[in-house]
Structure 1
Amino acid sequence: MSDNVIIARHLSKVVNSSEAELTILDNVSLSIERGSSVAILGASGSGKSTLLSLLAGLDLPSSGEVELAGKALNQLDEDERAALRGEQVGFVFQSFQLLDSLTALENVMLPLELAGRRDARKRASDLLERVGLAARTSHYPQQLSGGEQQRVAIARAFASEPVILFADEPTGNLDAATGERITDLLFDLNLQQQTTLVLVTHDARLAARCSNTLQMQAGKLMESGT
């Protein structure tokens, strides 16, 4: 089995506007090793979130190809890509994306129940304890602070023990101190579960904690380093 859990070859993304074609991503190739932590760093509009969407199979490129966990995404239909994400991938977003009608525990249980896990409640409860929310399991998102909501989102993302975790500006809506705690939590869980961590960020301090950095500028991959 390849040590690379993500391989992208010559990815481009072009969209049509009313005025002209707009190239959002331009001929990007990269590989990401299993168990590593990688930051995709760049200014707003540099193409980093689009790259993440393509790597995760949430969107398809205009040209080029992505292999995710050994599967060529362009050879899968939408349902097959969704199934692959459900089995292999976790997500943490800036906007938390919790369901307001579910408690913290129920939000974390949801992907486990969808996967048919009989231990969903215990697994969710254990994860919420690990992220410091054992006393908040019955609270709804609107009863939680931003930092607490993001911790619930992280517990949910790690619940199914994903091979890859994609995080898009995971600390973007948080104050500096809370963001630092969330960052610590992400890397602790990454280390404990050997999950490949792919972070999109404009924060150079967050990127510096990753084992590798990919620098995006105007849709192009400029450089990488350790």
Structure 2
Amino acid sequence: MTDPASGPENVSEPILKVSNLTQRVNLGNDTLTILQGVSLEIKRGESVAIVGRSGSGKTTLLGLLAGLDTPSDGEVMLEGNPVSRLSEDERAALRARRVGFVFQSFQLLPSLTALENVMLPLELGDYPDAGRRAKELLERVGLGDRLRHTPRQLSGGEQQRVAIARAFASEPVILFADEPTGNLDNQTGQEIQDLLMALNQEQGTTLVMVTHDETLAARCERRLTLESGRLGKEQEAAA
């Protein structure tokens, strides 16, 4: 496996390459096919929206791309690492160094402050100066005056800002977001969109998002549509 802490030797190669990805689930005597023959490539620094109706397989695809699960068939390559063929420990090591996550439900630890939530992945990864890095990120997302607040003391939008700061803390090469504006009102959702796109540009982080938000999808460079577990015709972003 390529060292997860090091960058790829050839930056012109796709950061993410998926070949004939299929995911099936056994349901007693029946087999449910959630994804069927999905193939795609994503370039370094791109922003990509994955859209489709509920039940089309979007979240399942995102989990496979991120190495949270392994496919029934096919292969996922992240920076030359065969994610789908790595052990659970190897996938965890790769995610810790190279991958960030933003979830609809925020997934902050309720007993920790905003600062401690952002510091956690840095401390687990033995990053130097975790406190300084976490503070800088929280200031960048507009929460410099909320460092000592716990999640219950923060609004939904503020919690998502903490989650975004945490996701970018270890400077991931790719960030996966599952409905990042799904639990937010329109104005707050717009602010989170602006923040994600700005960080995508500033840090050059590849951004792959599952979303029902048409405005957010339109802001991405590419739009991939899942239809009953299959990849539909790709749409380029509007000029």
Is TM more than 0.5 here? Answer: yes
User: Is 1:163 aligned to 2:173, yes or no?
Assistant: yes
Letter in 2 for 1:165: L
Q: C-alpha offsets along residues 91-144 of structure 1, whole Å, 9 cap, x if unaligned?
A: 000000000010000000001111111210000000000100000000000000
What is the Cα deviation at residue 85 of structure 1? 0.5
**Structure 2 residues without counterparts, runs of 5 or longer:** 1-9
**C-alpha distance in 2 between matches for 1:76 and 1:130:** 35
1:9-158 matches, within 5 Å, as: 9-158=19-168
Residue correspondences, number: 226
Partners of 1:163 and 1:117 lie apart in 2 by: 16
Amino acid at match of 2:157: G
Where has structure 1 moved over 2 Å in runs of 4 or more? Answer: none
State the structure with bigger RCO (CA 8 A, min sep 6), 1 or 2. Answer: 1
- Aligned-partner Cα distance in 2 for 1:90–1:46: 23
SS of match in other structure, 1:4: coil
Question: What SS is found at the alignment partner of 1:186?
Answer: helix
- Report the TM-score when normalising by structure 1: 0.98
* Cα separation, 1, equivalents of 2:84 and 2:110: 34
The structural deviation recorded for 1:3 is 2.9
RMSD, matched Cα: 0.8
d(CA) in 1 for partners of 2:176, 2:79: 13
Provide, for residues 10-46 of structure 1, a one-character-per-residue CA deviation record: whole Å limited to 9, x for no partner: 0000001135111100110000000000000111101
Report the secondary structure of 1:136's partner residue: coil
Partners of 1:218 and 1:15 lie apart in 2 by 15
Matches within 5 A, 1:175-214: 175-214=185-224
Say if 1:109 and 1:120, in contact at 8 Å, map to a contact too: yes
SS of the aligned residue for 1:184 comes to helix
Name the aligned partner's letter for residue 118 of structure 1.
P
8 A Cα contact 1:42 1:216, kept in partner: yes
1:183 touches 1:206 (CA, 8 Å); kept in 2? yes
Q: Which amino acid aligns with 1:224?
A: E
Once residues 163 and 146 of structure 1 are traced to their aligned partners in structure 2, the CA distance between those partners, rounded to angstroms, is 26
Identity %: 65
User: Contact 1:7–1:31 at 8 Å: present in 2 too?
Assistant: yes
Normalising to structure 2: TM-score of the pair?
Answer: 0.93
C-alpha contact 1:69 1:88 (8 A) present in aligned 2:
no
